[in-house]
Amino acid sequence: MKKVKLNILGLSYSQTQTGAYALVLSEADGNRRIPIIIGAVEAQAIAIQLEGLKPPRPLTHDLFLNVALAFDIEIVEVFIHKLEEGIFYAEIVCEQNSNRIRIDSRTSDAIALALRFECPIFTTEDILEKAGINMEFDESGEAGDEFDEVDSDTKKSSAGHVDYSDYAPEELNELLDAAIADEDYEKASEIRDEIKKRKP
């Protein structure tokens, strides 16, 4: 199974789920990005490390790091190996005295630890195909911004989510382009899922 390396692109506040955040991972050698919805506590643990902040007392993931180092345990990689019903599954690959152990983990916790151990994050090509949002870049390396304006009067369900089932394929592609241009990866993910549902 070929592994694809991922980088952490950043965090953004979820527009549809109160108190949730979108963690955006990007393909190291490509243009695809994966948005993963995570909770506020996990987002804080990731943000603190991304910003290089040092809390006065160890947080849970910092405590895990300290215990692991005390017992000469190293995390060598984080592997996001499964996507099922919109949920990402990860495992932490640990090493102690040349022995490797794989530990099941929530993806958000695994990434928070990957940041602290400075270890790589991988996924599979299959997951990137299912969940990845492709970003097109122009010759300057910047994301293209030549997107037509899309009517913002989208149909919303009673839960506040947009119902994309009534849109024509051309409209969905325009909405997807606009969401990517706005870096609204959560919205782009929902539109992408609707497009994939229609494929034979």
pLDDT band at 8 (very low <50, low <70, confident <90, very high): very high
CB 77 within 8 A of CB 121: yes
Q: Which two tokens stand for residue 164?
A: 């994309």
Across the range 22-33, mean pLDDT stands at 92
- Which positions ≥6 away from 117 have C-beta within 8 Å? 65, 68, 74, 75
In 3D, which of 114, 123, 124 has the Cα closest to residue 94? 114
Q: Other C-beta atoms within 10 Å of 178: how many?
A: 19
Across the range 99-128, mean pLDDT stands at 96
pLDDT score recorded for residue 96: 94
pLDDT score recorded for residue 118: 96
Give tens-digit pLDDT for 144-192.
433 233 333 344 433 445 778 778 888 888 887 777 767 666 677 778 7
All domains in the chain, ordered by first residue: 3-131 (3.10.690.10), 139-198 (no CATH)
Handedness of CA 147, 153, 157, 163 (dihedral sign): negative
pLDDT score recorded for residue 198: 79
The overall longest dimension of the chain from CA atoms, in Å, is 59
| C-alpha to C-alpha distances, 63 to 21, 60, 69, 95, 189, nearest whole angstrom | 23, 5, 10, 18, 34
Q: Name the strand (E) or helix (H) holding 169.
A: helix 169-181
Across the range 86-92, mean pLDDT stands at 95
For residue 92, which amino acid is it? I
